[in-house]
Amino acid sequence: MSALTVSQAADYAEKNPDFIPCYPQRAFFSVVVVSILAAAAFASWLPLQVSIVTLFLFAGPHNWFELRYFLMRLPVRFGRSRNFFVTAFAGLAVLTVAYVSLPFVYNARLWSDDAWSTIIAGWNTALLFWLGLLVWLRSRQKRKAKWTWTIPAGLVLASLNWLGPDSFSLALVYIHPLIALWFLDRHLRRTRPEWLRTYRRCLCLLPLVLAVMIWQLSQTTALPDSNGLFWRITQHSGAEVLPQVSSHLLVSVHLFLEMLHYAVWIVALPLIGGVIKTVPIARHPRGFPRLVAGLLIAALAGVVVLWFGFSMNYSTTRDVYFTVAIAHVLAEAPFLLRML
């Protein structure tokens, strides 16, 4: 049996509304697989150089697209979700301010190493408590949801965090990029359910690629950290927390996950999502179109400022970005919970 051409499939689809042509799925599958393999190849080949270029190009834009996506998911009136959103925004603000102040606290040099670890563990515990509170508030809205297991799970995580605060923080660095894949999964379930199976098959490739990367790179020599920028990149990937692991492996794996993260927010979700007019709080008669437009324009200006900063002083801008960017990491939690 010969395959249908695109035009034949289109004609057939017009006559049969239930017919779903498989061409987009195949294209989607191909794009996802090629993206994963290409990201892994570049991340393994030149981790430091690609990391610098990737961050410069995509860090700011991905935050802008993320902000736009969150605005799209924000209801016009909170209604029954009022407590949830109040908790989400209050926690977001408090945790972000606390995190941004940590470098200043550290530079005050009033703390021993042990006390500093306790401070980090305290912030991580506050994060887990906030997440637990959001899960509890969300579960009250979903009567069928059985999320009580999250309480002991959260306590176990908090316990592990107190045993190794640095390791826990490093785990967050590596887990955060994967959250974007979860967002895409939930979004496909709503908008392109026929693609979901294909997408999840593609995700099966991820552990395989990671295993190959670890196998290939575990024996490699450490990356040079002779200058401040390279040192920052290796430290961010956990070279100090895991001194026995090759920094080449650490940077490559982290970069690989970050590239997937950027690809989801900048390419996948906008293509599937929609245009600016779909932001409910902007298009609704009782909405805030000017506020939304102002926010997005301000964020766009922020992207330009970030590019300018990277051009002038890459290392310092990188430090500032990764400190302030904790806000977008935290913001993902409530919006993901709303999609569960």
Partner 1 sequence: MKALLFACLIFSASVAKADLPKPQQPPQRAAREVLHTSLEISTDPKAYEAKLQISESSLKELRAALDGAPVNGSIVGGISISPTRTIVAGLLMFMAVSIAGILLARSTSFGRTQKTVGALVLVAVLIGVAAIITRGNAGPPGSYRWRNLPQALAEGKPTFGGVDIEIVPDGDSGPHLRLVMPLKKQ
C-beta closer to partner 1: residue 249 or 306: 249
Q: Does 2 bind partner 1 (CB under 8 A)?
A: no
Interaction of residue 211 with partner 1, rule CB under 8 A: no
Contact pick of 149, 227, 275, 312 for partner 1 (by CB under 8 A): 149
Out of 98, 100, 210, 222, the residue judged to bind partner 1 by CB under 8 A: 222
Residue 241 makes contact with partner 1 by CB under 8 A: yes
Query: Which x/- pattern, by CB under 8 A, does the window 279-318 give for partner 1?
Result: ----------------------------------------
Minimum Å gap between C-beta 94 and partner 1 is 21
Of 56, 66, 105, 81, the C-alpha closest to 327 is 66
Can you tell me which of 2, 16, 107, 219 binds partner 1, judged by CB under 8 A? 219
b (16+ CB within 10 A) / e for 250-288: bbbbbbbbbbbbbbbbbebbeeeeeeeeebebbeeeebb
The two structure tokens encoding residue 279: 């932001």
Strands (E) located in the chain: none
With contacts defined by CB under 8 A, name the span among 38-46, 159-167, 262-270, 329-337 that binds partner 1: 159-167
When the beta carbons of 117 and 169 are compared against partner 1, the nearer one is 117
SS3 84: helix
User: Minimum distance between the CB of residue 117 and partner 1, rounded to whole angstroms?
Assistant: 7
Does 227 contact partner 1 by CB under 8 A? no
Quick check: helix, strand or coil at residue 41?
helix
Contact 268, 64 (CB under 8 A): no
Binding segment for partner 1 (CB under 8 A), chosen from 69-77, 79-87, 235-243, 250-258, is: 235-243
248 near 47, Cβ under 8 Å?
yes
What separation, in Å, do the N-terminal and C-terminal C-alpha atoms of the chain show? 42
Judged by CB under 8 A, which stretch of 161-169, 180-188, 301-309, 319-327 contacts partner 1? 161-169
| Vertex 140 angle, CA 143 and 185, to 5° | 75
Q: Does the footprint of partner 1 cover residue 246 (CB under 8 A)? A: yes
Nearest to 310 by CA among 229, 211, 247: 229
Task: Name the one residue in this structure whose structure tokens are 């176990």.
Answer: 156
Q: Interface mask (CB under 8 A) for partner 1, residues 98-117, using x and -?
A: ---------------xx--x
Residues in touch with partner 1 (CB under 8 A): 113-114, 117-118, 121, 148-149, 151-153, 155-156, 158-167, 219-222, 225, 240-241, 243-244, 246
